[in-house]
Amino acid sequence: MIDRVDSLGRALRPLLGALLLLLTAAVLTAPAASAAPRAAAPVPAATLTEVTGFGANPSNLQMYVYAPANVTAHPAVLVAVHWCGGSGPAMHSGTEYAQLADRYGFVIVYPSVTRGSKCFDVSSPQALRRGGGSDPVGVKSMIDWVTAAYAADTARVYATGISSGAMMTNVLLGDYPDVFAAGSAFSGVPFGCFATADGSEWNSACSGGTVVHTAQEWGDLVRGAYPGYTGTRPRMQVWHGTEDDVLRYPNFGEEIKQWTNVRGVSQTPAATDSPASGWTRTRYGGTGDQAPVEAVSLQGVGHNLYAWGMAARVLTFFGLDSAGPTPQPQPTGCKVTATTSAWSTGLTASVTLTNTGSGAIDGWRLGFTLPSGQTITNGWGATYAPVSGAVTATNATYNGTLAAGASVTVGYQANHTGNSAAPGTFTLNGTTCTRS
């Protein structure tokens, strides 16, 4: 077992008038600083490395990345979220995910809280809606950074966490259902259970297990985080000890109600077994290792239930306990047509990629550099990261295969400061394409 502390602390730091005057003077005389994220590039292999300047980060999280020496082509990404009082490095050293990454070739992101409590924000209105601000936005930026640096597989992004990190796992899957394929939460609570309106990080009713809703009500809380989203929702695995005295055991049942409703499956288990002594595992909506919802109850176990060896079971649920997709042959030829339609400060770009080689391409990454002053605001047909400078557009799940002679058209909108031209050079999986 790992020893952890679940506690909240608040540090109120008053602003000093003199310092404010100095800062004001500095702002009036200093040139404006660029807010663009640092260009993404792989970190040193097999070394936990802090990454700074990774993009939008409203709550000042720290980002740590672990990439094994044998990263697979288009690797999966695992976001591993620490407990209250913990940190990204503590999550790295206190769990075996890094050793499993060495075996299976995926990349790990370890977010790390800097606020005094060292707890993730799972209670504020900002945290409980997509793009609302606070911690989830920073974590999403981390994923975008890793996707660009490693041409990661955007269909294989996962989250797991312990205690506060388990609660954040629920929040991330609710806010960003289009980003995460699955999550695994150890000793957590449902999405929205910890919500507060007074600025407090702690919700005693939720922690005490007295917040009870119908499955539909719980599901509506998740759906309300991203109104209008109709795509596939992530799968969820939840773990809880029956003697949890920090986040009481009734939260386990409420999580099951929530995620079975979100996934649209019955609350009646499709399968029940006992994979270890004192464990009861129930699966909903399916009987296999990747059921839509899986729940593991540990009899007589308290809040600190995570133990060495459980991570391997998480990977089985995610489907990461293999080396991943076989690397595909590099393209032998490609052609790109790119046009823009501009107005005063914005533009719309249309990009058509054609595979002119003799073989199919399974998984594509289109690289290009935006002209100076352009910043992508949204896009379609691909995931774009970062949003300025050297950009990588990674295929969506539905258009990742390009047969010989086949084409795909994607596009984006961008702001500009005068230059509304299309990029001049494109590369497909590292191969330079011709322009037409």
Tell me which residues are annotated as active site. Answer: 163
Sheet strands (E) in 29-113: 49-51, 62-66, 77-81, 107-112
The pairing of beta strand 361-362 with beta strand 293-298: unpaired
Q: Are 331 and 271 in contact (CB under 8 A)?
A: no
Residue given tokens 């004001």 in the structure block = 24
Q: Which residue from 192, 138, 160, 146 is spatially nearest to 82, judged by alpha carbons?
A: 160
Specify the residue for token string 């975008």. Answer: 144
Q: Which of 332, 405, 330 is nearest to 151 (CA)?
A: 330
Residue-wise DSSP of 179-200: T-SEEEEES---TTTT--SSS-
Angle at 174 between CA 164 and CA 39, to 5 degrees: 80
User: Which helix (DSSP H) or strand (DSSP E) does residue 356 occupy?
Assistant: none
- Region for residue 151 given its phi and psi (left: phi exceeds 0; alpha: psi -120 to 50; beta: otherwise): left
Supply 399's token pair: 């258009």
Q: To which H or E segment does residue 26 belong?
A: helix 17-29
Q: Is there a contact between 111 and 138 (Cβ–Cβ < 8 Å)?
A: yes
